[in-house]
Amino acid sequence: MQTQLSVMQLNILPELLNFPRQVELNRVIEGTYPVSKLARLNEALLSNNGDITAKLVFTDSVGFASLKGEVSAKLLVQCQRCLEAVETELSGSFKFALISNEDEIGLLPEEFEPYLIEGEEQSIAELIEDELLLCLPMVTVHENDCSAYMAKQNKAIKAEMEKAKKVQKEAEHPFAGLKALKENLNDKVN
């Protein structure tokens, strides 16, 4: 059965919506959401400028009320190599089945993640934020060489690594020192 989708283009996505109602309306909602309003995401960023772009498709698929969609954003994070700013482009997609009871999880086709509907309205902001956090890499570094800052840091990093190696070596042979001490004592006794 072909369903008629009603597409809504919004400048700014609403923070909250009644998701099951959107499914009844077969609604496609496209819009942006300001990065600055997502506190958890901001903790991982250097700047809260810019917008997240999202597309949300509320529809009935294979008998389940579903919410499929995409999120994307250009975000400024800290390069883990030189500690300067680096822009990272993120995009992710999701496919939720809207369920009202946890017992329904077992009935879902594998392709769906469960989304438990509670209360009158559900949070678009939270959903977008969760999806972006999921696709945020653990470590981001500049693709090419890092800035001059890197050269300055290089020497210090090398020294630190040498130090760490030495500590590790000592840890691998914890009795080396003891043996030397014992030999030393023996020498004195004899």
The binding site for Zn ion (CB under 5 A) comprises 79, 81-82, 142, 146
Q: How far apart are CA 82 and CA 150, in angstroms?
A: 5
To the nearest whole angstrom, how small is the minimum distance from the Cβ of residue 150 to Zn ion?
A: 6
To the nearest whole angstrom, how small is the minimum distance from the Cβ of residue 105 to Zn ion?
A: 42
To the nearest whole angstrom, how small is the minimum distance from the Cβ of residue 174 to Zn ion?
A: 38
Which CB sits closer to Zn ion, 55 or 142?
Answer: 142
Query: H helices then E strands: how many in the chain?
Result: 5, 8
CB 28 within 8 Å of CB 66: no
To the nearest whole angstrom, how small is the minimum distance from the Cβ of residue 79 to Zn ion?
A: 3
Which CB sits closer to Zn ion, 110 or 143?
Answer: 143
Which CB sits closer to Zn ion, 27 or 81?
Answer: 81
Sequence-distant (≥ 6) Cβ neighbours of residue 50 within 8 angstroms: 34, 35, 73, 74, 75, 76
Which CB sits closer to Zn ion, 29 or 79?
Answer: 79
Q: Phi and psi dihedrals of 19, rounded to 5? A: -60, -50
